[in-house]
Amino acid sequence: NGDAQAGEQKAVMCVACHGANGKASVPVYPNLAGQNEKYLEHALQAYKKGERSGGQAEIMKAYISGLSDEDISNLAAYYSSMKP
């Protein structure tokens, strides 16, 4: 499992769209707060691997391209730890 505190450090690039509290600022973006950790990890990896297209997928891929597998696990732990 990831390290939520380390994830918080990496989440600075996520907050513009997904909110400081994990509630999306734009209705077409997903809330992340309280989402299942394993699903968040899967979804981030799917964007990174190019398994998602359309919508904001290219933007997500660009953001995630610089993240390690550990960073991704930590982000997943951080958002899943938030109150939905």
The single residue among 9, 51, 59, 62 that binds a second copy, judged by CB under 8 A, is: 51
d(CA 55, CA 10): 23
d(CA 57, CA 70): 21
The single residue among 5, 21, 36, 70 that binds a second copy, judged by CB under 8 A, is: 36
Question: Does 49 participate in binding a second copy (rule CB under 8 A)?
Answer: yes
Question: Does 59 participate in binding a second copy (rule CB under 8 A)?
Answer: no
Pick 9 or 69: Cβ nearer a second copy = 69
